[in-house]
């Protein structure tokens, strides 16, 4: 099995594929919303979205990575999202996307890549551990809706 033909930064025209894959990850969104978010993110040095591209420019996966800086902790990069098309999993595409995120983080001078994964995603946990990630803690996520 071969990895993606190309891993590159997401660009205009990728939004429909990114939105469809986000739906597979459990986060349904529209191509229009993704386009607006990609536009807002473009040019920022602290975030990147990578896509894995197959033949005929077909996008089969994406990953988002960003810098995190806390007052109490050394800066690190966080893998904010990663998804590979269900029927394409197991071919090295996810590994290629993670490698792109790692290289991006190193270029920005950070020595750690972190990620969060839902407790029910046991296959993803095994994938990450196979890439050398280790579990560091278990936590709860809280969210409060704010009227805007």
CATH of the domain at 30: 3.40.630.30
The number of folded domains in the chain is 1
Evaluate whether residue 87 is within a structural domain: yes
Evaluate whether residue 124 is within a structural domain: no
Evaluate whether residue 99 is within a structural domain: yes
125 confidence band (pLDDT: 50, 70, 90): very high
Contact 66, 80 (CB under 8 A): yes
The percentage of the chain sitting over the pLDDT mark of 90, rounded to a whole number, equals 80
Q: What is the mean pLDDT of residues 113-142?
A: 91
Per the structure, the complete domain to which residue 36 belongs is given by: 6-116
Q: What is the CA radius of gyration of the chain?
A: 15
Q: What is the mean pLDDT of residues 40-56?
A: 92
78-85 contacts, C-beta under 8 A, 24 or more apart = 78/113, 78/114, 78/115, 78/116, 79/113, 79/114, 79/115, 80/47, 80/115, 81/22, 81/25, 81/27, 82/115, 83/21, 83/22, 83/24, 83/25, 84/21, 84/52, 84/60, 85/21, 85/24, 85/60, 85/61
Evaluate whether residue 128 is within a structural domain: no
Model pLDDT, residue 52:
97
Evaluate whether residue 18 is within a structural domain: yes
Q: Which of 79-83, 132-136, 138-142, 143-147 has the lowest mean pLDDT?
A: 138-142
Model pLDDT, residue 4:
59
């Amino acid at each position: 099995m071969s990895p993606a033909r190309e891993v590159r930064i997401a660009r205009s025209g990728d939004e429909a594929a990114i939105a469809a894959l986000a739906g597979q990850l459990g986060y349904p969104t529209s191509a229009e919303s993704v386009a607006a978010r990609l536009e807002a993110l473009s040019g920022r040095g602290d975030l990147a979205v990578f896509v894995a591209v197959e033949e005929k420019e077909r996008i089969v996966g994406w990953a988002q990575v960003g810098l995190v800086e806390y007052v109490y902790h050394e800066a690190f990069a966080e893998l904010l999202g990663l998804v590979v098309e269900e029927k394409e999993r197991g071919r090295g595409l996810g590994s290629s996307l993670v490698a792109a995120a790692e290289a991006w983080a190193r270029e920005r001078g950070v020595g750690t890549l972190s990620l969060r994964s839902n407790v029910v995603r046991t296959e993803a946990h095994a994938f990450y551990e196979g890439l050398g990630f280790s579990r560091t803690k278990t936590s709860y996520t809280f969210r409060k809706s704010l009227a805007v």
